[in-house]
Chain A
Amino acid sequence: MKRSHIIAIVVIAAAIAIIIATAGDASTYVNFDQAYQMASTGNSSQIHVVGELKKENGQIVGLKNSDDKLSFSFILVDDHKKEQKVIYNEPMPPDFLRSEKVVVIGNYENNQFIAKKILLKCPSKYQDQKLVKS
């Protein structure tokens, strides 16, 4: 076997390894039930859940800042209308309340959903653009 063949095999092996690693480390979009199931079967990987903040009569409910303002919790309603309290160990992002959609990245720990990261989808600045008439 020529050396170049060996290198080619190594490269192909590395490429396959990369693809497998990507597939393995890729997260998934799931709902809270699926996330809970994953956690209860011992799978502690971080997943994405897309949802909306719980609202009653147009008011966001279930929002709670910790006393030291360094963390907060809120209620997220997923696509299947399941409500789940989500805990986030960072101060509340100031535009949090304006967001239409919230993507939480995290997992269940002891029956609570702990978000490691929150992505906010705010009304687009372009769609929302209003003329300032004054």
Chain B
Amino acid sequence: MHYFIGNLGHIFVIAALVTSVVSAFAYWKCFYSTDNLETEGWRKNARIAFYLHGISVLGIVAVLFFIIYQHYFEYHYAYSHSSLHLPGQYMVSCFWEGQEGSFLLWMFWQAVIGIILIHTQRKWEAPAMVVFALVQAFLASMILGVVIPYADFKIGSSPFILLRDALSDPIFKVNPDFIPKDGHGLNPLLQNYWMVIHPPTLFLGFALTLPPFAFCIAGLWLKKYSEWIKPALPWALLGGAILGLGILMGGYWAYETLSFGGYWNWDPVENAVYVPWLILIAAIHVMMTYKNSGTALKASIILAISVFILILYSTFLTRSGILGDASVHSFTDLGLSGQLLLYLLFFTVGALVLVAINWKKIPSTEKEISTYSREFWVFLGATTLCLMGFQVLMPTSIPVYNKIIDLFGGHSNLAPPANQIEFYSKFQLWFGVAVALISGTGQFFWWKKLEKEKLKTELLTPVLVSLIIFALIISIAKVYNPVYMALTLAGVYLIVSNVKVLLSVVKVKPGLSGGAVAHIGIGLMLIGILFSAGYSKIVSLNSSGLIVNKEMGTEFNRDNLLLFINEPKTMAGYEIEYRSENLEFRNENGYVRKNDIDPTSDPYRVVANKEILFEGKKLYNARDTFEIYPENTFYEIEMRRNGKVAATLYPRIQINPAMGGFLASPDIKKNFDRDIYTHVSAMMSRDEEPNWGKTEEFKVKIGQQFFVNDYVAVLEEVKRIDQIEGIELGDEDVAVKAKIKIQGEHESFYAEPIFLIRNKSEVGRIPAEINDLGIRIALLNIHPQTAEFTLGTNRRQKDWVVIKAIEKPFINVLWLGTGVLMIGFCMAMVRRFREEK
């Protein structure tokens, strides 16, 4: 038992909480004291406290990582999130698989940002850092893990809790020092490289919404109602980029790992971060307008605050367990809902009160804004973004309404929309059109004030060019759905108008072109989303040829396809064939067929029974022993087009009772213009004894051909053998082994059944099975007089798998657009950070 390390971690947690409270208090004093000397004294104390806080957070991180890395399974966190066989890079993912670890990650980033602010924002330091330190205190309390005696009230959930305290297993009564040999393991869906970088990116995005909020609160406190925007803007831009990137990484992970068939599912957990991002984008735009023209100050304040509050709300939604059945992902409920609610309410009420007190004093312009000004267009765009977020937030909060109604003694049976994707898409699509049109047009006003007449000439070229490109796209890609046509046109117009602006700005001031670049990125993303989602085609669609279950009516199309091994089926222009079950190499890239290896006593090591090749490259010799991962089975699915192999895909299945049974991950063949995506939706169970048909007998001579289940077979030889694995042969015992070659669809198989006579009279037969062909052969009898042998064959249903295959056209446009958007954000951010200096 390693008690010391856990205690150390716990001390760090307590230290982190205490130092953050001390720092908040000291900054508060620093900010309210009038005496200059006193101010500096408090500032010094506050800084030291925050530095100590940073060190404590780092200490917690180091200790937790150490526990995971050293496989200290006496700790609940290491036991439930890691295991001995987990590859090194995924140890990092273990760290944030649990709620405590992800709180820690969030805290870590905010500590880093806080320290940067201390060094760069002397003027704003004290009030902004009060907010920072308070947020840190709330987060630290989430991982405190202290039970208040007598009240039976738990504050936080500690990552350093011992297994015996977390699980009530009888073994701990017998042996309190019991340490499990191996951990529970990391959810295989999280064993993906995106899960190594997506959570840190997302939580950095979360953390980056704090500086704008802190500056805004500081501005209200100091009654410097407008000056806070300047330091807040670059952080907001960075946050917009990182949060957006984090969200898309999550989408990309879902696309590669989960099997719902796409990158976005409008799941509450996704919505909970999408909404703050939209509002953040709106906030960035109004803040920039304020800097340029002095309008929209109130809007800037409200939006900057809303972003952070929405982040807290999303934290509450996803971690309090309130979503319950509504979401497919969910953090387990750690009983922190009260604390989370307090966290949310504290900052919401605090910020609202502060805004309300100062509302009258916040300067605002009474001047009517002109339709031909950029302020008007930015305001319109920001309003659209807010409504867009509102539309997602309303239904996502349905479980919250139910809870509130229940709380007041009522009963509500409201459920989230039955088809979330359809429901959200039909609204968001039109918002997308509006955003594209507004930001496409708004760009012209951004750079110069345009009069009515001039606007026409300015707009003429981009509109014409857009129409031409639009006409080309819809005729080539056959876009005939009017709604999709509208989005295509809007997206193209957004790109074209921004390219025009970009071209003119780049000549004069290239540093200012970030906005145009970012908008081009958005345009590309809209088009990428439209094609990859709107025109995603189910390749395994099964609308004819098969008998449809009578009960089902005929309106159903089957989205799934049943494939028997080595029997190609033709669907949507592809020939699809299920070839084999495979395992993954531990030390090489690629897969090995289960038929080509024999097990050893160690489940992670196998012996090759023939030369192992993967994609034509020889990896192991026959009889070599090598390492594999036994948990996952990869189904080799070959897709051919016009006789040529278009893709060989290896979708994954893991049967893992500990993680909820059955986990399917797709495999994606990425082409330039389209992705081909396949996942397994059902497969045969190997645990059940197969249903063998009745025995068919053949009397054959050596070299004679016969047919087993329509496959050509030849009895090649029969020879006496001296030993059989697992059976002891006496001196008098006789054993013979037949070697039968069977020609399968793609390769030949050998069946080697054994015939055995023990103690002169007992006859034993060991049949041989060929998995791929679904046959079993036994050597039933030997007829020495005629030199003939009787073979008995049985057949069963062949191995099968049910798959779903989808084609996603132009999905790369979405990823390209994401990249362009990020470049645009970075350009704008660099400009604003420079400007601030």
- Residues of chain A having any CB pair with chain B under 8 Å: 2-4, 7, 11, 14-15, 18-19, 21-22, 25-30, 45-48, 66-71, 73, 87, 89-95, 98, 103, 105-106, 109-110, 112, 114, 116-117, 119, 121-122, 124-126, 129-134
- Give the residues in chain B near A45, CB-CB below 8 Å: 418
Task: Say yes or no: B682 contacts A26, CB within 8 Å.
Answer: no
Task: Say yes or no: A28 contacts B414, CB within 8 Å.
Answer: yes
- Give the residues in chain A near B169, CB-CB below 8 Å: 130-131
B326 to chain A, nearest CB (A): 9
Pick the residue among A29, A95, A109 that contacts B662 (CB under 8 A).
Answer: A95
Task: Say yes or no: A116 contacts B419, CB within 8 Å.
Answer: yes
Sample 12 A-B pairs with CB under 8 A, ordered by A number. A4-B368, A11-B383, A15-B387, A18-B390, A22-B394, A25-B417, A68-B547, A91-B682, A94-B662, A98-B661, A110-B553, A131-B167
Task: Say yes or no: A4 contacts B369, CB within 8 Å.
Answer: yes
Provide the bound-state CA to CA distance between A27 and B412, in Å.
11
Using known A-B contacts A91-B682, A132-B180, determine if residue A28 contacts B556 with beta carbons closer than 8 Å.
no
Pick the residue among A15, A19, A103, A125 that contacts B658 (CB under 8 A).
Answer: A125
Segment touching A, from B208-216, B557-565, B607-615, B634-642 = B557-565
Using known A-B contacts A25-B395, A121-B325, determine if residue A92 contacts B660 with beta carbons closer than 8 Å.
no
Interface centre among B80, B379, B558 (most CB of A within 10 A): B558
Task: Say yes or no: B551 contacts A89, CB within 8 Å.
Answer: no
B415 at the interface (CB under 8 A from A): yes
Using known A-B contacts A26-B395, A87-B552, determine if residue A93 contacts B802 with beta carbons closer than 8 Å.
no
Task: Say yes or no: A133 contacts B560, CB within 8 Å.
Answer: no
Task: Say yes or no: B800 contacts A66, CB within 8 Å.
Answer: no
Using known A-B contacts A70-B558, A122-B660, determine if residue A105 contacts B546 with beta carbons closer than 8 Å.
no
Provide the bound-state CA to CA distance between A3 and B395, in Å.
31
Secondary structure at the B interface, as helix, strand, loop or mixed, is mixed
- Give the residues in chain A near B659, CB-CB below 8 Å: 125
Pick the residue among A4, A7, A48, A112 that contacts B415 (CB under 8 A).
Answer: A48
B431 to chain A, nearest CB (A): 10
Provide the bound-state CA to CA distance between A103 and B418, in Å.
11
Interface residues of B in 286-330 (CB under 8 A from A): 325
B413 at the interface (CB under 8 A from A): yes
- Give the residues in chain B near A68, CB-CB below 8 Å: 546-547, 562
B398 at the interface (CB under 8 A from A): yes
B474 at the interface (CB under 8 A from A): no
Task: Say yes or no: A70 contacts B418, CB within 8 Å.
Answer: no
Provide the bound-state CA to CA distance between A90 and B171, in Å.
43
- Give the residues in chain B near A124, CB-CB below 8 Å: 332
Pick the residue among A46, A89, A110 that contacts B418 (CB under 8 A).
Answer: A46
Q: Which 6 A-B pairs have the closest CB atoms?
A: A95-B661, A46-B418, A91-B682, A94-B662, A27-B415, A29-B413
Measured CB to CB, the nearest residue on chain B to A95 is B661
Using known A-B contacts A22-B394, A131-B167, determine if residue A48 contacts B553 with beta carbons closer than 8 Å.
no
B376 to chain A, nearest CB (A): 8
- Give the residues in chain B near A3, CB-CB below 8 Å: 368-369, 371
Task: Say yes or no: A26 contacts B415, CB within 8 Å.
Answer: yes
Using known A-B contacts A48-B415, A126-B332, determine if residue A103 contacts B325 with beta carbons closer than 8 Å.
yes
Using known A-B contacts A26-B417, A70-B558, determine if residue A119 contacts B398 with beta carbons closer than 8 Å.
no
Using known A-B contacts A87-B551, A125-B660, determine if residue A18 contacts B560 with beta carbons closer than 8 Å.
no
Chain B window 156-182, contacts with chain A (Cβ cutoff 8 Å), 1 for yes, 0 for no: 000000000001010100000000111
B184 at the interface (CB under 8 A from A): yes
Task: Say yes or no: B387 contacts A14, CB within 8 Å.
Answer: yes
Provide the bound-state CA to CA distance between A73 and B550, in Å.
12
Provide the bound-state CA to CA distance between A19 and B414, in Å.
14
Q: A48-B418, A129-B80 are in contact. List 19 more A-B contacts (CB 8 A).
A: A18-B387, A19-B394, A21-B427, A26-B415, A27-B416, A28-B414, A29-B415, A46-B418, A68-B546, A71-B556, A87-B552, A90-B560, A90-B681, A93-B662, A94-B662, A94-B682, A110-B553, A116-B419, A132-B184
Chain B window 530-566, contacts with chain A (Cβ cutoff 8 Å), 1 for yes, 0 for no: 0000000000001000110101110010111110000
- Give the residues in chain A near B418, CB-CB below 8 Å: 27, 45-48, 105-106, 116-117
A27 to chain B, nearest CB (A): 4
Measured CB to CB, the nearest residue on chain A to B163 is A131
B447 at the interface (CB under 8 A from A): no
Pick the residue among A15, A25, A91, A131 that contacts B560 (CB under 8 A).
Answer: A91
- Give the residues in chain B near A69, CB-CB below 8 Å: 562, 682, 800, 802
Provide the bound-state CA to CA distance between A63 and B556, in Å.
20
